[in-house]
Chains A and B, each alone.
Chain A
Amino acid sequence: MALSVESRLIINEREYWEVKLRGDVDIANAADFRAALREAYFEKPADIIIDASELSYIDSTGLGVIIGAYGRMRDKGHGILIENPKANVKKLLNITSLDKIFCQEEVLA
């Protein structure tokens, strides 16, 4: 399934980006995902919440994009949270121990 990335800035008690992923993130489209995260953060530096409820598949290049983005944000006190991952995505986050970083609310500012 092709990838769709939808980003919108949510402004309520706090500001954050909600990035909704639909489909597969792999080596063929990881660059699009990277560009979307960069673009959003460049426009407005803020926490990013990735809605993974419709993300069917992600590989290590996709995870690398999230790690890279987080690396550029954390010095500024921002974090990334991955919400509602499907079982297969959750398993990958778990075996790479990335769930300890990206699935905990505390990571957000």
Chain B
Amino acid sequence: MSDTLRLFVPGKPEYVRAVRMAVSAVASGAGFDVEAVEDIKVAVSEACANVVCHGANPQHTGYEVSCVLFDDRLVIRVIDQAGGYDAGRYKEPEAGELREGGLGIFIIKALMDEVSIDSEIGKGTLIQMIKRHSIR
């Protein structure tokens, strides 16, 4: 059994906070502890910011955020049609490297249990993030 919450979000910076609040309410209601809720909040915001910052035309298309709640995990998908990018060219920041951008994906991977990024140039990107319940 699973419950699904699906949000269609305008591709504007001011709506990222609304997504963050909605997803953190789902996670908190599902019994994730405070630290895990915080991790989920940051990860989903980073994924949304990625669409808004790097998408070719996110303001026009908007994007979708879905949260699927299973007994043992929360699966979050951020799906856009904002033009995609070459995910293979993404380079994780090295220790001590000061980079103004490019931290978002690194942070998502550090905070979530499983992360996959599927991007098609000319189309869009799907970022899937999974957080597991430690105890339920």
Contact = CB atoms under 8 A, between A and B. Distances in A.
Interface of A: 24, 26-28, 57, 59-61, 63-64, 67-68, 70-71, 87-88, 91-92, 95-97, 100-101
Q: Interface on chain B toward A: helix, strand, loop, or mixed SS?
A: helix
B106 A27 contact: no
A61 B104 CA distance: 8
Contacts, number: 63
A49 B107 CA distance: 24
Contacts of B101: 60, 64
Contacts of B49: 26-27, 59-61
A71 B17 contact: no
30 contacts: A26-B16, A26-B45, A26-B49, A27-B13, A27-B16, A27-B45, A28-B14, A28-B17, A59-B49, A59-B104, A60-B101, A60-B103, A60-B104, A61-B53, A64-B100, A64-B101, A64-B103, A67-B100, A71-B98, A71-B100, A87-B35, A88-B42, A91-B38, A92-B42, A95-B107, A96-B103, A96-B106, A96-B107, A100-B96, A101-B98
B46 interface: yes
B48 to A, nearest CB: 8
B52 interface: yes
B52 A27 contact: yes
A61 B99 CA distance: 11
Contact of A68 (B14, B35, B46, B100): B100
Contacts of B52: 27
Given A26-B49, A101-B98, A63 B103 contact: yes
Contacts of A101: 98
